[in-house]
Amino acid sequence: MTEFDLEDGPLGSEATGGFSDKYEVKEKLGAGISSVVRKCIHKITGKPYAVKIIDKLSDAGVDIEATTRDEVSILLALQGHENIIGLVDVFESPVFFFLVFELAVKGELFDHLTDQVTLSEKKTRRIMHEVFGAVKFMHDQDIVHRDLKPENILLDEDYRIKISDFGFAVKLKEGEKLRELCGTPGYLSPEALQCSMFGDAPGYSKEVDMWACGVIMYTLLVGCPPFWHRRQVTMLRSIMEGRYHFHSPEWDDISESAKNLISKLLVVHPKGRLTAEQALEHAWFQGAQQAKNDGFSARWKFKGTVIALIAVREFYKFAKNKLQPVTFDTILREPYGVKPLRKMIDGCAFRIYGHWVKRNKDENQNRAALFENKPHKERYNGNGDMPRKISNLDTYNASFRMSSMGLIQYKSVRKLNPSN
């Protein structure tokens, strides 16, 4: 990781490629394996920005200079769209790149979702409309993002979205198919996974972004991803088969139109998947069918039910009799004393609040617990054998790229800010 952390004071103009002449560096906002993101202030206007400082000499297992130049090229091609992060300035020194971005003051959509647990259909509809609009703009220019997820969707002061982090993005040539496995495990499409498993896989294209959009939309509505499983191999098998469910009770208050849109995005065969343009024309965005109760999430319904049951139990205040027949009155008074009901209540509670469970009593809330599954660094031997574990990675949703040697290279471990 870059050592440009201001402990030894600010660097001069030559060391920063002129960046320090124009901007004043402030507090750290986030960090990746080969970069750090800081807030910076324009010295003349006083306007705040976010600067991504990339260490050219970082031993991250990739060609930092080449990938950074590709990222800048793609960002410049996409400038002007209101829902894509704006690249303001670029500086280069012998040791660092300085990419200055507009500052998305509300942070990541992931953090917003962690705070809210779930979003109403009304909010999700607005967010997804902006996401699809930005994706259409990218795809119209033959650019594939390849790492769409809530962490890479930022929010400005008006809660409008800004798609960021184009480190894996690529511009397609006519008829080109991609085969490199990169992205984030829970958002990988079936056709991308096939490229890592079968030598004769046909490759993938823009459709991988639409699959990721389906995963994002599902997650925003109910607060958990569609393909989660504690065992990564089971999760990947579910993705390959397109096996997911609209479980009750969390989906009970979600409109059929929303479910229909998700089902047309999470289609295993890429040619059967909606394009961004087709998604924008879906009935869910046309107001043809609203949610049964747009602002009423399943967690509040569950809370209300539990509170009502407790109130009834307290009202009757009867002495518990273990041999008493299970009558309707018994269920009302002591619902938790009936084993099948107890299991149902516990199951509902875990499904709704499970991602808030802290692992240890002394640790802070784990923001990555929303995506509970924890992958491992693995090396693929290229002979068709299953990968073998190298070491644990403490997040389910870390971006990675598989090198030509079969080594999975993780792009970032912790992100706190806009443009990293």
Give the pair of three-digit tokens for residue 284. Answer: 């869910």
Question: Any catalytic annotation for residue 111?
Answer: no
Tokens representing residue 106 in the block: 């509300």
With beta carbons less than 8 A apart as the criterion, state whether 172 and 205 touch: yes
Residues annotated within a binding site for ATP? 52
- Which residue among the candidates 115, 142, 147, 252 is catalytic per the annotation? 147
If you ran DSSP here, which 8-state letter would residue 295 be given?
A: T
SS3 67: helix
Q: Confirm if 413 and 36 have CB atoms less than 8 A apart.
A: no
Q: Please tell me the distance from the alpha carbon of residue 34 to that of residue 3, in angstroms, as a whole number.
A: 10
Provide the β-strand partners of residue 154. Answer: 108, 162
Pairing of strands 376-379, 388-392: antiparallel
Sheet strand arrangement including 182-183: 182-183, 400-402, 408-410
The DSSP string of 354-367 is GGG--SSTTSPP-G
User: Residue 223 and residue 128: Cα distance in Å, rounded?
Assistant: 15
Q: Is 397 within 8 Å of 29 (Cβ atoms)?
A: no
Q: Is 208:265 a contact under the CB 8 Å cutoff?
A: no
142's tokens: 């033959």
Active site positions, annotated: 147
